[in-house]
Amino acid sequence: MNLRRTTTTRRALAAATISAGLILSVTGCGGDGDKSEGGSAKSSAPAQQGGDGKAKPSVPAADKTLAEVKGNDITVKVTSATRDQGGFLTVTGSVTNNTSGIWVANEWRSPETELQGNGGSLAGASVVDQEGKKKYLVLRDTQGRCLCTKFEGGIDQGKSADWFAQFPAPPEGTKSVQLQVPTMPPAQLNLTEGE
């Protein structure tokens, strides 16, 4: 083999290796389509916050209310509880602040050390499969961010905000679960099947 062909082959191999490394680096750093501004994972649920960082007033996407619970001048409505094909249960709804000031959801924080950095959020929520006698906690990513709404900036007095939370899906035979949010009464939910 002559020297020129060896040098050309080495250069081509080096270029291919560098190109593959750059592609892997860009792919690993990319994925902004899966992250929200705050760095937490997005869901198919509607946006929860306005540009000022406060939860924006909104109306639930669905007209149907599966459950409504009230406690401590807060009203929680659940509008869907859908089992997705990927093995997730996505629960959505709205929360209304009937207190005399801004509500920041501190009491809904998770007691788990891994989820402490989520601030006022639905990180402390869970669903209970009473028939299967199992409790499912909110899902989180590898960095401890919950797959749920964070109420950054809080909700103003008299305003509402949409929310979502994702959990591991209970077995297919399970037709209903109980949503448990700290400081709120439990809400019985009938599950629907996603596409």
List pLDDT tens digits, range 41-63.
333 344 444 444 444 333 444 46
Q: How confident is the model at residue 4 (pLDDT cuts 50, 70, 90)?
A: low
Statement to judge: residues 21 and 79 lie in one domain = no
Look over the chain and give the mean of its residue pLDDT values, rounded to a whole number: 76
Q: pTM for the whole thing? A: 0.66
Is the domain of 90 the same as that of 176? yes
CATH number, domain with residue 86: 2.60.40
Asked whether the predicted pLDDT for residue 110 surpasses 60, the reply is yes
**Residues 102 and 160 both lie in one domain:** yes
Give the chain's domain count. 2
Closest CA to 88 of 77, 99, 80, 96: 80
Whether residue 83 contacts residue 193, with contact meaning beta carbons closer than 8 Å, is answered with: yes
From the list 93, 95, 96, 97, the residue with the least C-alpha distance to 65 is 93
Q: Across the chain, how many H-helices and E-strands are there? A: 1, 9
Residues 11 and 82 grouped into a single domain: no
Whether residue 25 is found in the same domain as residue 121: no
> Does 38 map to a domain?
no
Domain membership of residue 23 as a residue range = 3-30
Q: Does 187 fall in a domain? A: yes
Cα separation values, 145 from 39, 132, 138, 139, 187, Å: 8, 27, 10, 9, 24
Mean pLDDT value of segment 161-184 = 94
Percent of the chain at pLDDT above 90? Answer: 47
Flag whether 72 is in a domain. Answer: yes
Output DSSP code: residue 120: S
Has residue 26 got a pLDDT over 80?
no
- Whether residue 26 is found in the same domain as residue 76: no
7 with 75, same domain?
Answer: no
- Inform me whether the pLDDT recorded for 73 exceeds 70: yes
Q: How many angstroms separate the CA atoms of 96 and 81, rounded?
A: 19
